[in-house]
């Protein structure tokens, strides 16, 4: 018997088997029932949440011998052909590797003819945002006058990159992340069917790591079974989910802090060879930079880090290679990159490009911080005493402003302006509030016992004052 990965083995064959995506499923089923199927759909959302699966079920629903029906039989010739990936009328194209005008032209030629066996030709273009501009234009011509027997389904992880000329001609469905609970239930179901032993905490570990993608959850389970066999203990699982070897993390920080972009490619290759999930690795890298910043910032790092003395010494040595403020900037930027990596359809390339950029980071000063620096210099010229920007000054500032306010009114300042001031300061409060909701900011604040004074980009060269 050939071994089937869980993602294929457990691919839903009917709308009813789909997990989550209730609105999408219901709308599609109703459209089929009422004979109101659109000629072009666009399915958007992150990887592994059922876009391709839904597209295939829709294709079967349209072409099933007993249909069109919202409940395709999966037994007739048409349904079977789709399930086995060899239907001549259901064509799946990967937009990432067939990006050009020629592919779209031959597609246009193809849809001129009626479907060979079925009622409908169904064209599924995956990662449609990857098509070139010429290819989009050619596609647009087809969408403007779609052949009557054809249904287009475009899938994309990056909806915002699909031109509006295309999206405006499609019915759009946004697929949602799968909830932790649904992922856990699904994994539980697989473990029962496959006779796998996995603790509840193990299930949560996988669900958490897969971050809303059912396919990621399935492939992590695949990996765990390959590693441990049918009995998976939590320790093995943690190993697989990648407590990435510290050595590798240090190599990465070495090349970033040492500005050696050339090293990144082979390091990423290493990570992949070890079999680590890239998104998981990335989380560990963020944690590593957080540790570097921590040992640089606090005297008794051993109280805050569950590491032995030797490990802390290594971190301290590494942290010597950058200033406190540089480390903070690396950390902030790494965090900003996490979302992009999650949604990227080419995580490896995304990661490589991102880390290469980080290697050049010391050379780049953000424009905003240069402007702030200039402002500082200007202020220094106006105020030679060079008052430091401390909490104290801020408090004094506020008191001064409060005292000054009645005077403003004496000057018959218009109500609009004072309203504007209130609006501005409550906007600032809201910004601070929003920032504090970010768990990473929260943990940072807790670790450093800090308070937010204002939300502004970090100034360069301030710490040496
Ligand atoms: N909503 C879902 N319900 C059930 N299984 C799903 C769902 N989403 C993903 N899967 C599982 O993940 C695999 C890949 O899903 P797929 O539809 O290709 O995701 P996408 O196209 O969104 O990247 C499927 O074969 C299936 O096993
Ligand atoms: Mg897909
Ligand atoms: Zn059928």
DSSP for 55-112? HHHHHHHHH-TT-S-SS--S-SHHHHHHHTT--SSEEEEETTT--SHHHHHHHHHHHH
**Degrees to nearest 5, angle at CA 244 with 239 and 245:** 100
C-alpha 335 – ligand 2 centre gap (Å):
26
Query: Cα–Cα distance between 94 and 345 in angstroms, integer?
Result: 12
| pLDDT value at 453 more than 70 | no
Q: What average pLDDT does the segment 115-131 reach?
A: 85
What pTM was computed for the model? 0.61
Cβ pair 146, 40 in contact under 8 A: yes
- Residue 47 CA, closest ligand 1 atom number: 23
pLDDT at 465: 40
**What is the distance of C-alpha 351 from the center of its chain?**
12
Bigger pLDDT: 270 or 53?
53
Bridging pattern class, strands 150-156 and 40-44: parallel
Bigger pLDDT: 370 or 231?
231
| pLDDT value at 395 more than 50 | no
Least confident segment among 80-84, 235-239, 378-382, 390-394: 390-394
| pLDDT value at 396 more than 50 | no
Across the chain, mean pLDDT equals 82
Q: What average pLDDT does the segment 27-34 reach?
A: 96
pLDDT at 458: 55
pLDDT at 448: 63
- Residue whose CA is closest, atom 11 of ligand 1? 215
Which has the closest alpha carbon to 49: 197, 183, 226, 205?
A: 183
Ligand nearest to the CA of 49: 1
C-alpha 275 – ligand 1 centre gap (Å):
22
Local structure of 312: helix, strand or coil? helix
Query: Cα–Cα distance between 318 and 155 in angstroms, integer?
Result: 44
pLDDT at 244: 59
| pLDDT value at 234 more than 90 | no
Which residue has 């239907």 as its token pair?
A: 87
Mutation test residue for ligand 1: of 49, 345, 347, the one with most atoms within 8 Å of CB: 49
Cβ pair 26, 54 in contact under 8 A: no
Q: What average pLDDT does the segment 16-30 reach?
A: 96
Ligand nearest to the CA of 182: 1
pLDDT at 394: 39
Ligand nearest to the CA of 21: 1
- Residue whose CA is closest, atom 17 of ligand 1? 50
| pLDDT value at 400 more than 70 | no
Ligand 1 pocket (Cβ < 6 Å) reads: 7-8, 10-12, 18-21, 47-53, 155, 178, 214-215, 218
Q: 10 Å Cβ neighbour count for 189? A: 12
pLDDT at 410: 41
Which has the closest alpha carbon to 46: 139, 145, 159?
A: 159
Helix axes 347-359, 278-297, angle to 10 degrees: 20
C-alpha 53 – ligand 1 centre gap (Å):
6
C-alpha 178 – ligand 1 centre gap (Å):
10
3-state helix, strand, coil in the chain (%, to 5): 60, 5, 30
Beta strands per DSSP E along 108-165: 121-126, 150-156
- Residue whose CA is closest, atom 18 of ligand 1? 52
Q: What average pLDDT does the segment 39-60 reach?
A: 95
Bigger pLDDT: 367 or 388?
367
C-alpha 68 – ligand 3 centre gap (Å):
9
Query: DSSP label at 42?
Result: E
Least confident segment among 13-17, 129-133, 345-349, 380-384: 380-384
Give percent of the chain with pLDDT exceeding 90. 43
Cβ pair 47, 157 in contact under 8 A: yes
pLDDT at 422: 61
Bigger pLDDT: 221 or 457?
221
- Residue whose CA is closest, atom 19 of ligand 1? 48
Q: What average pLDDT does the segment 397-416 reach?
A: 44
Cβ pair 262, 360 in contact under 8 A: no
C-alpha 43 – ligand 2 centre gap (Å):
10
- Give the environment of ion ligand 2: residues with CB less than 5 A: 52
What is the tens place of the pLDDT at every residue in 136-165? 888 888 888 888 888 999 999 989 989 999
C-alpha 257 – ligand 2 centre gap (Å):
37
Ligand nearest to the CA of 119: 3
- Residue 9 CA, closest ligand 1 atom number: 27
**pLDDT-based confidence at 425, cuts 50/70/90?**
low
| pLDDT value at 335 more than 70 | yes
Give percent of the chain with pLDDT exceeding 70. 81
- Residue 49 CA, closest ligand 1 atom number: 8
- Residue whose CA is closest, atom 12 of ligand 1? 215
Beta-bridge partners for 40? 152
Which has the closest alpha carbon to 242: 212, 211, 272, 267?
A: 272
pLDDT at 388: 45
| pLDDT value at 375 more than 70 | yes
| pLDDT value at 452 more than 50 | yes
Ligand nearest to the CA of 61: 3
pLDDT at 385: 52
């Amino acid at each position: 018997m050939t071994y089937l990965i869980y993602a294929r083995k457990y691919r839903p064959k009917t709308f009813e088997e789909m997990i989550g995506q209730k609105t999408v499923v219901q709308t599609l089923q109703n459209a089929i029932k009422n004979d109101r199927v659109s000629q072009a759909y666009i399915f958007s959302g992150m990887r592994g949440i059922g876009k391709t699966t839904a597209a295939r079920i829709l294709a079967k629903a349209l072409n099933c011998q007993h249909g069109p029906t919202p409940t395709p039989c999966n037994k007739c010739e048409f349904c079977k052909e789709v399930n086995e990936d060899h239907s001549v009328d259901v064509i799946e194209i990967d937009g990432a590797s067939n990006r050009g005008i020629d592919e779209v032209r031959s597609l246009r030629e193809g849809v001129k003819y009626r479907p060979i066996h079925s009622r409908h030709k169904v064209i599924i273009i995956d990662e449609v945002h990857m098509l070139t501009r010429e290819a989009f234009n050619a596609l647009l011509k087809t969408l403007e006058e779609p052949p009557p027997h054809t249904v287009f389904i475009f899938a994309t992880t990056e909806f915002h990159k699909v031109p509006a000329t295309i999206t405006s001609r499609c019915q759009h469905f946004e697929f949602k992340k799968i909830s932790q609970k649904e992922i856990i239930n699904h994994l539980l179901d697989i473990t029962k069917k496959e006779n796998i032993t996995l603790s509840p905490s193990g299930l949560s570990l996988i669900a958490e790591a897969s971050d809303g993608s059912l396919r990621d959850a399935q492939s992590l389970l695949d990996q765990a079974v390959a590693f441990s066999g049918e009995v998976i203990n939590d320790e093995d699982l943690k190993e697989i989910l990648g407590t990435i070897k510290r050595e590798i993390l240090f190599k990465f920080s070495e090349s970033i802090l040492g500005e050696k972009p050339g090293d990144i490619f082979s390091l990423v290759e290493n990570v992949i060879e070890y079999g680590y999930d890239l998104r998981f690795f990335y989380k560990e890298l963020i944690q590593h930079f957080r540790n570097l910043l921590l040992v640089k910032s606090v005297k008794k790092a051993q109280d805050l880090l569950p590491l032995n003395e030797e490990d802390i010494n290594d971190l301290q040595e590494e942290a010597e290679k950058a200033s406190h403020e540089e480390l903070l900037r690396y950390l902030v930027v790494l965090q900003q990159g996490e979302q992009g990596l999650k949604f990227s359809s080419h995580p490896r390339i995304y990661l490589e490009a991102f880390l290469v950029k980080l290697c050049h980071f010391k050379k780049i000063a953000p424009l905003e911080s240069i402007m702030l620096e200039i402002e500082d210099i200007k202020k220094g010229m106006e105020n030679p005493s060079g008052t430091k920007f401390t909490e104290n000054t801020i408090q004094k500032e506020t008191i001064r402003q409060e005292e000054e306010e009645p005077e403003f009114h004496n000057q018959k300042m218009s109500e609009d302006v004072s309203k504007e001031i209130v609006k501005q300061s409550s906007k600032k409060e809201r910004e601070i509030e929003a920032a504090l909701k970010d768990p990473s900011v929260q943990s940072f604040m807790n670790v450093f016992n800090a308070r937010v004074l204002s939300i502004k980009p970090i100034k360069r060269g301030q710490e040496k004052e």
